[in-house]
């Protein structure tokens, strides 16, 4: 058999580590110094961290001084999702957190906000944030109790649908609030600028870019307005995130970010061409299927689909047995396959199964052919099973 035995099409869950990231990690492992030490060994380690900070900042056109390294996107979310901020030395309170109904659980759980202080904003049946509903919520927000904090992802991790973040930013700032944007899936797949988005904070994750697991970042638009620290201690990361920095992971993060900055448009166009061919053939093989968000602006690499009568878990196992790794959406529940809160938010039957195919840097024509062959067999078996019943 000429093609490889397995095809990996779950890049939204995690990307295979890039060679440049691996090299950066191995080089950092050979450095003995603590980045906070002032001797030569410590300064060498600090140099690696600051170079990575510049590369991560460049990914979203931010200032390096505004990048705070964390253990991942979940920690970054919990750092910024707090009622307690400071404007310089002046305390600033966020009284309510508004989150879209399709947010990743790391954001949707509300971080350090009390459950009663988290308000969910609906999305349309097209999977796009209902900006009018957010506007109504902000209109009645009581600013005497504190300011609103709004969290909206740039691109949904399941459907790939791009959200109207610029419009949201304008609305939020008009009401004196702050905007947090989860850019985990979008980073490296579309050009980003924190200023052009109008975001006050961005969340990033290394392993979605081909860096190591265990590294992430909170990026702010400035240095004056910052959330209260989540982890206190020795005052690393300017006091925003204490604890000795994970030098190898941060080095790998920086290398992956630098790689991701190059040729984003070219990579995106190539993946969009592959996906278009794939989806066209899928619809031919299964005319009754649904590709969620197909009419909306999506990340070029993502296809989230449902086949009538095929449960998510059954479909995922079926493709896995065919040698194709895809997912049932967010890979954040320790291997559990449950109902998609994204599909529910879009108004679909909660029992509807959804499967996600996500492409990446190394995805080739042969990988798409392998998936389509598997798809044809899965569809054929499902039809035979229905006929037998």
By the 8 A CB rule, do 251 and 266 touch? no
> Distance (Å, rounded) from C-alpha 3 to C-alpha 370?
8
Q: What angle do CA 97, 99, 103 make, to 5 degrees?
A: 140
> Distance (Å, rounded) from C-alpha 168 to C-alpha 194?
14
By the 8 A CB rule, do 209 and 188 touch? yes
Q: In which residue are the tokens 């505004």 written?
A: 66
Q: What angle do CA 253, 257, 259 make, to 5 degrees?
A: 120
Burial class of 168 by CB neighbour count within 10 A (0 to 12, 13 to 18, 19+):
buried
Query: 219 has which bridge partners?
Result: 67, 202
**206, 168, 189, 376: CA torsion to nearest 10:** 110
Question: How many angstroms separate the first and last alpha carbons of the chain?
Answer: 35
- DSSP 3-state of 65: helix
Active site positions, annotated: 332
Q: In which residue are the tokens 């990048």 written?
A: 67
């Amino acid at each position: 058999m000429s093609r490889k035995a397995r095809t990996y099409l779950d890049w939204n869950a995690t990307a295979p580590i890039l060679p440049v990231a691996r090299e950066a990690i191995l080089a950092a492992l050979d450095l003995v110094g603590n980045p906070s030490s002032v001797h030569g060994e410590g300064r060498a380690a600090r140099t690696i961290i600051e170079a990575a900070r510049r590369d991560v900042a460049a990914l979203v056109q931010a200032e390096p001084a505004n990048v705070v390294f964390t253990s991942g996107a979940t920690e970054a979310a919990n750092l910024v999702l707090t009622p307690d901020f400071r404007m310089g030395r002046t305390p600033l309170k966020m009284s309510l957190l508004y989150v879209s109904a399709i947010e990743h659980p790391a954001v949707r759980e509300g971080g350090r906000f009390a459950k009663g202080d988290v308000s969910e904003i609906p999305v349309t049946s097209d999977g796009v944030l209902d900006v009018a509903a957010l506007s109504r919520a902000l209109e009645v927000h009581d600013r005497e109790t504190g300011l609103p904090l709004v969290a909206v992802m740039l691109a949904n991790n399941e459907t790939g649908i791009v959200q109207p973040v610029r419009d949201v930013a304008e609305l939020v700032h008009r009401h004196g609030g702050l905007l947090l944007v989860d850019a985990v899936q979008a980073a490296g797949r579309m050009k980003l600028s924190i200023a052009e988005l109008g975001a006050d904070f961005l969340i990033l994750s290394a392993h979605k870019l081909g860096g190591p697991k265990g590294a992430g970042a909170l990026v702010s638009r400035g240095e004056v307005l910052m959330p209260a620290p989540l982890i206190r201690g020795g005052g690393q990361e300017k006091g925003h995130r204490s604890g000795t920095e994970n030098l190898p992971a941060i080095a790998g993060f920086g290398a992956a970010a630098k790689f991701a900055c190059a040729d984003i448009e070219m990579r995106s166009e190539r993946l969009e061409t592959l996906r278009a061919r794939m989806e066209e053939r899928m619809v031919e093989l299964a005319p009754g299927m649904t590709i969620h968000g197909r009419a909306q602006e999506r990340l070029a690499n993502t296809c989230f689909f449902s086949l009538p009568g095929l449960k998510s878990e059954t479909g995922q196992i079926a493709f896995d047995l065919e040698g194709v790794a895809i997912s049932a959406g967010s890979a954040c529940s320790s291997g559990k396959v449950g109902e998609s809160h994204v599909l529910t938010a879009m108004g679909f039957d909660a029992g509807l199964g959804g499967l996600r195919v996500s492409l990446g840097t190394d995805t080739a024509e042969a990988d798409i052919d392998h998936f389509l062959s598997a798809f044809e067999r899965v569809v054929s078996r499902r039809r035979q099973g229905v006929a037998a019943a």
